[in-house]
């Protein structure tokens, strides 16, 4: 529960940062699976004008496979490089005493070649 509270606090701080884009992505209809109270909190955060970095991203898929449930962060550094940090694990409401977690951390290089 402590990590959940810490993450919530961190996300609320990041949502107000001018140099951040924070996408809250969830499956199609996923928001409706939350309680009325949770939906209200989410909608209030989305409407909050101070949360300039916060973006609501409902996906078209009806469910997110457990293997992909988690969080992904792409950090752009001052020198132009990007770092990739991702984790997968059980959502709090699905957690039990035997949760498996996976973490990835590496540089992120995207090369695009555009031809006309």
| pLDDT at residue 29 in the model | 93
Closest CA to 57 of 31, 18, 81: 31
C-beta separation of 57 from 25 below 8 A: yes
Return mean pLDDT, the chain: 81
Please say if the pLDDT value at position 66 is more than 90. Answer: no
Give the global pTM.
0.66
Domain locations in the chain as residue ranges: 1-64, 66-116
**How crowded is residue 24: how many other Cβ atoms within 10 Å of its Cβ?**
15
With a CB cutoff of 8 Å and minimum separation 6, the contacts of 63 are: 27
Asked whether the predicted pLDDT for residue 115 surpasses 70, the reply is no
Q: What is the pLDDT of residues 70-98, one digit of tens each?
A: 777 777 778 888 888 888 876 555 556 66
- The whole-number pLDDT of residue 48 equals 96
């Amino acid at each position: 529960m402590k990590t959940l509270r810490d993450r919530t606090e961190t996300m609320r701080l990041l949502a107000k940062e001018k140099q951040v884009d924070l996408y809250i992505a969830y499956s199609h209809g996923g928001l409706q699976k939350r309680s009325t109270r949770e939906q209200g909190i989410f909608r209030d955060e989305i409407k909050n004008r101070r949360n300039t970095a916060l973006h609501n991203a409902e996906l078209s898929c009806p469910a997110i496979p457990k293997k992909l449930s988690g969080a992904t962060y792409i950090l752009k550094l001052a020198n132009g490089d990007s770092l990739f940090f991702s984790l997968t694990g059980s959502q709090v409401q699905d957690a039990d005493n035997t949760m498996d977690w996976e973490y990835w951390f590496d540089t992120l290089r995207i090369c695009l070649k555009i031809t006309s």
